[in-house]
Amino acid sequence: MQLRPLVIDGAWELTPVQHGDGRGLFAEVFKGDLLAEAIGHRLDLAQVNLSVSAAGVLRGVHFADVPPGQAKYVTCASGAILDVIVDIRVGSHTFGTYDTVLLDDVDRRAVYLSEGLGHAFCSLADGSTVTYLCSTGYNPTGEHGINPLDPELAIDWPTTARDGTPLNYELSAKDTAAPGLSAARESGLLPVYDDVTDYLRSLAT
User: Looking at 19, 119, 132, 199, which residue is catalytic?
Assistant: 132
Closest CA to 117 of 157, 84, 148: 84
- One-letter identity of residue 21: D
Single-letter amino acid, residue 112: Y
Q: Report the candidate in 150, 131, 158, 120 with the shortest Cα–Cα distance to residue 11.
A: 120
Q: Which position among 62, 73, 119, 193 bears the catalytic label?
A: 62
Q: Which residues of 146-167 are buried (b: 16+ CB within 10 A; e: fewer)?
A: bbbbbeebebebbeebbeeeeb
Q: Is 119 among the residues known to form the active site? A: no
- Give CA 205 to chain center in angstroms: 25
Is residue 62 among the annotated active site residues?
A: yes
CA angle, 74 as apex, 71 and 78 as ends, to 5°? Answer: 165
CB atoms within 10 A of CB 202: 10
Which active-site residues does the annotation give? 62, 132
